[in-house]
Structure 1
Amino acid sequence: MSWIVDARLGLLVPVALIAISLVRSLQKKRADPPLPPGPPQLPVVGNVLSIDSKAPWNTYAAWCADYGDLVYARFFSQDVVIINSEKIAKDLLDKRSNNYSDRPFLPTRIPFRWTHNFAFTPYGNEWRLARRLFHQSFRAEAALDFRPMQLRKARQLLNNLTDTPQSYQAHVTTFAASVAMSATYDYETAPLDDPFVGMVDRALYLGLKFMTPETTAILNAFPFLLRLPTWFPGSSMKRNALVSTQYVTEMIESPLQYVQESMASGTAGPSLASDLLKRKEQQESDRLPEFEQALRQASSTAFVGGSETTSSALLTFILAMVLHPHVQERAQAEIDAVVGKDRLPDFDDQPSLPYIEAILREVNRWQPVLPLGVAHAATNSDVYDGYYIPKGAAVVANTWEMSRNEIIYPRPSEFIPERFLDAGGQLLDANAPTFMFGFGRRICPGRYTAEASIWAVIASTLAVFEFSKAKDAQGNDIEFVPTFTSGLTRHPNPFPCRVTPRSGVNSEKLARLMDPIA
């Protein structure tokens, strides 16, 4: 986030010039009820300077310890309310969803062309149409149709890991993108260096860093930064926006063009995009622009959202197995007892593999992919538990802090799948971390497909491989401390990992195991 530091320094003069007027407007006293408690604020900038820009959830967790489960902060002129408990999140975002389904204004959304993703679209008719089109293909019942494809893609991942185990990160990314591309566009990705996978990587690298209230606070206060000429000092944001627009446009239009060409040649299979393109022909002319926009939003959101969150969770799973071999051993013992060693697990086995399900839940809880979710916004002012929530406030559900609730999840920093099982080894539903998928009307509509993809990979890879620490030239384990990316989503940075076949598994046996699925 070096651009933030540069911008802060460069804005000291204009901040000083407007400080008096802003302070007067922002420090107006209001009648009871009071705002939620929160950290002391500086004039003009509020709490922006006190945030850990690489891991704001850590700052919010510290504020939670000092001020409680509902915290008020201010980023320049933006009111921010941070929710640190699952109960409050459900009370507000679920039970009062009519008031908390909007999104705060993100000044980067249009310049970076992230209008393609309806996760960031303001609440209204545009969002409703895009989500409805998406939901028709990815609702719980429809998502069952993807399962044979997801198993097939998981088997392809096994082959890729067998051939080049050192490229585990690329293989996981390809798997996640492959499932999303198949469901959305009926497109088969290449095992490595697929052009469409590369498009997503390039677009996400820029976009996800600039779609949070923390990183857009300066632009909210000083929107002229995006109007500076690209040659002007301090205009890196403008240059990034131009590059992002190019990458995102390519990512949206190229797969749709592929589907249109396949439909014209008669080779297109069923997919979200082909179904919507057929329905487009039936639209009245006055509704066509609206439907085309929703079509692009639904398809690109399915592609981007499915790729990024699934691959992030699977990399976390592999990291957990490397660091916790005893968990891996128990999971493999369960698979061997239920499935045996003469076939691979499939979804019919899922009810009989509670420990695999517990691992999936713990992956989601231990290192949340979206530690702060996507911020909601208050459509109207509200009062909760005696505290005033201003109209237009960004409302942030701190899922990171929820996942660290020591009452529900003792020793929360540790990876303990057993926390989701009773004494008899059966799943407990009471403490399932469902908050990882969001709340209310903005809950993730692709969660059923995502969880099925993650389960398929966990079960399939543990049946065939062992994940362990990589060895140095002397044969010693390479010790490491995991690090993670920053931004809207979070996943482990590359770490030394050794992927080896389990005892008795070789390429010939793997080929036999996969034959019924081929």
Structure 2
Amino acid sequence: MTVSSFPLAQLTAFVLAVLLAYRFAKTRRHAPFPPGPQGWPIIGNVLDIPTEYQWKTFAKWGEKWGDIMSVNVLGQRMVIINSARVAVELLDRKSSIYSDRPHMVMIGEIVGWTRIVSLHNYGPRFRETRRLLSQMLGSRDKVAWLAPLLEAEEHRFLLHVLKDPDSLVAQVRKAAGAIILMLAYGYEVKDGEDPYVAIVEKAMSEVSAAATPAAFLVDFFPILRYFPPWLPGGGWKKNIPEYTKDLDAMCDIPYQFVKQHMAVGSFIPNFTSRLLEDNLSAEREQLVKDAASSFYAGGSDTTVSTITGFFLAMMCYPDVQKRAQAEIDTVIGSDRLPVLADRGRLPYLHALCLELLRWNPVAPLAIPHVLAQDDVYAGYYLPKGTTVMANVWKLLHEPETYANPFNFDPSRFISSGKRTAEQDPRSYAYGFGRRICPGMYLADATVFLAVAMSLAVFDIRKPVIDGVEVHPNMEFTSGVISHPPPFKCSIVPRSAKAEALVISTEMKA
């Protein structure tokens, strides 16, 4: 009997039977998925995942489902790691297969943020971009060569805060931007509102909001990108032109600044100029441009969050502030500001910087990894294409690792008597495996200098309004990058000598 003469109903039943048998056999071949909450048919756990503070929900789920768990989001398997041990075993030790990035239709394909190294797919372009960045930032010794620049910018930061303490957050952003724009492009940030800083900050705020897990259905149903915006649910498209324009501005405008100044020989040597000294192909030039953009995108917003969080912590934990200041006074004295080379002689200050990273991690869920091939771990099946998220917030608040994890206590990182220092949070806060932050040493040095110099000259207190001390909100924001909430802060010179020390930096400049 030919296929054409075979009854259609019987043919259909036969095909379905074969497909079901194949699916059953495939399922039988593999171990089960990691456990997790029971989802709904078709949509899975979409309704279970909150739109804010997902890391807290995932941590709570982990109490029931364990250190490695999974959810189903519209057919896409997502694994959540709530344990440092599991994160290291998978993302570090198996980094060769756990280093890809999710297929992000909205911010990746449509807006174009995959040109930034942190969102590159794992492959030759990613590795070459990392190599270029590593030439300037790849070790503590390399960053130590940048100490004069970092210290000069933090000096300026102190002066700006002294003149206008109410603009603290703006000054933190400006100082972080000034360091990276100088290193990446040889650009000197202007007094007042700088146009380049404004360009980059706008683009970064947009991607932080747009990259939130499950923020856009188009990431799960790519066909939605072709639907007209006037259809119900199409409102997400209205921001695409602005997002794309702002990303292009962030990448193109500082890059053209370098090229224009190189053409007339009036540039400050920098990351981009060094790579443009040779004649480059169009493809290579695009890679250099994107690498320079990655410089800023990868570090500015995270550093801003940590340093702003420092000021919030100091006014809420005055005993910590006093102990750190006493150490500075004893080791450094009051005749100069701390410098990067002093860090080894300031153990409590070093511990304070570590506690800032642990207390409220700036990237609570990091950026998701994607599995490049099937894997089996602890008896669980993890198929190729699985999104894997390390709950960094949970790792840094694990009571078995950190005693009283919700207390702000820098001394946890100092060995004394029978007490052993707790786990260095940098092991988790900067990411894992081949996706670890390429600018981690720069960020580490920048935070230390901002903290050390600020404590050397300022007292940071809760504000008093109408005779009443104001207690700030301590709930950091949600999003890919978590920031302190808006707060008011009293920042005053510790003494006339401290004030003169800050002002002396203006005279030297």
Q: Is 1:442 the equivalent of 2:418?
A: no
1:494 corresponds to which letter in structure 2? P
TM-aligned CA deviation for residue 34 of structure 1: 1.3
Q: Which residue does 2:102 correspond to in 1? A: 104
TM-aligned CA deviation for residue 505 of structure 1: 3.9
Q: Which residue does 1:20 correspond to in 2? A: none
TM-aligned CA deviation for residue 233 of structure 1: 4.5
Assess if the C-alpha contact under 8 Å between 1:112 and 1:207 holds in 2.
no
Structure 1 pair 276/231, CA: closer, same or farther in 2 (3 Å)? farther
Structure 1 pair 278/342, CA: closer, same or farther in 2 (3 Å)? same
Q: Which residue does 1:30 correspond to in 2? A: 27
Assess if the C-alpha contact under 8 Å between 2:370 and 2:388 holds in 1.
yes
Q: Is 1:142 the equivalent of 2:168?
A: no
TM-aligned CA deviation for residue 79 of structure 1: 0.7
Assess if the C-alpha contact under 8 Å between 1:354 and 1:427 holds in 2.
no
Assess if the C-alpha contact under 8 Å between 1:70 and 1:83 holds in 2.
yes
TM-aligned CA deviation for residue 384 of structure 1: 0.7
List per-residue Cα deviations over 1:347-383 (Å, max 9, x = no partner).
2211110111101100000000010111111111101
Equivalent position to 1:73, from 54, 71, 75: 71
Q: Which residue does 1:468 correspond to in 2? A: 461
| Same amino acid, percent of matched pairs | 36
Q: How does 1:388-467 map to 2 (within 5 A)?
A: 388-423=381-416, 428=421, 430-467=423-460
d(CA) in 2 for partners of 1:207 and 1:511? 37
3-state secondary structure, aligned to 1:43: coil
Q: How does 1:150-165 map to 2 (within 5 A)?
A: 150-165=150-165
d(CA) in 1 for partners of 2:142 and 2:283? 25
1:177 corresponds to which letter in structure 2? G
d(CA) in 2 for partners of 1:492 and 1:246? 28
Structure 1 pair 453/431, CA: closer, same or farther in 2 (3 Å)? closer
Equivalent position to 1:85, from 76, 83, 96: 83
Q: Which residue does 1:214 correspond to in 2? A: 214
Assess if the C-alpha contact under 8 Å between 2:97 and 2:371 holds in 1.
yes
List per-residue Cα deviations over 1:485-504 (Å, max 9, x = no partner).
22111111211211111133
Aligned residues: 485
Q: Is 1:512 the equivalent of 2:504?
A: yes
TM-aligned CA deviation for residue 483 of structure 1: 3.0
d(CA) in 1 for partners of 2:36 and 2:261? 56
Equivalent position to 2:340, from 347, 355, 359: 347
Q: Which residue does 2:190 correspond to in 1? A: 190
1:486 corresponds to which letter in structure 2? S
d(CA) in 2 for partners of 1:90 and 1:293? 34
d(CA) in 2 for partners of 1:340 and 1:321? 21
d(CA) in 2 for partners of 1:272 and 1:295? 9
Q: Is 1:271 the equivalent of 2:270?
A: yes
Q: How does 1:103-502 map to 2 (within 5 A)?
A: 103-108=101-106, 109-140=108-139, 141-216=141-216, 218-279=217-278, 281=279, 283=280, 288-423=281-416, 428=421, 430-472=423-465, 474-502=466-494
TM-aligned CA deviation for residue 454 of structure 1: 0.4
Q: Which residue does 1:12 correspond to in 2? A: none
Structure 1 pair 255/387, CA: closer, same or farther in 2 (3 Å)? same
Assess if the C-alpha contact under 8 Å between 1:403 and 1:433 holds in 2.
no
Q: How does 1:41-56 map to 2 (within 5 A)?
A: 41-56=39-54
d(CA) in 1 for partners of 2:420 and 2:426? 13
d(CA) in 2 for partners of 1:263 and 1:183? 15
Assess if the C-alpha contact under 8 Å between 1:104 and 1:394 holds in 2.
yes
1:90 corresponds to which letter in structure 2? V
3-state secondary structure, aligned to 1:499: strand
TM-aligned CA deviation for residue 139 of structure 1: 0.9
Assess if the C-alpha contact under 8 Å between 1:126 and 1:290 holds in 2.
no
1:138 corresponds to which letter in structure 2? L
In structure 2, stretches of 5+ residues that fail to align are 1-19
| Deviates most, 481-490 or 266-275 | 481-490
| Deviates most, 331-340 or 427-436 | 427-436
2:58 corresponds to which letter in structure 1? Y
Assess if the C-alpha contact under 8 Å between 1:116 and 1:296 holds in 2.
no
List per-residue Cα deviations over 1:18-64 (Å, max 9, x = no partner).
xxxxxx99x97812411111111111111111112111101110111
List per-residue Cα deviations over 1:173-200 (Å, max 9, x = no partner).
1011111111101111123311111111
Structure 1 pair 49/505, CA: closer, same or farther in 2 (3 Å)? farther
Q: TM-score, normalised to structure 2's length?
A: 0.91
Assess if the C-alpha contact under 8 Å between 1:173 and 1:311 holds in 2.
yes
2:94 corresponds to which letter in structure 1? R
d(CA) in 1 for partners of 2:419 and 2:325? 17
In structure 1, stretches of 5+ residues that fail to align are 1-23
Structure 1 pair 351/325, CA: closer, same or farther in 2 (3 Å)? same
Assess if the C-alpha contact under 8 Å between 2:334 and 2:498 holds in 1.
no
Q: Which residue does 2:13 correspond to in 1? A: none
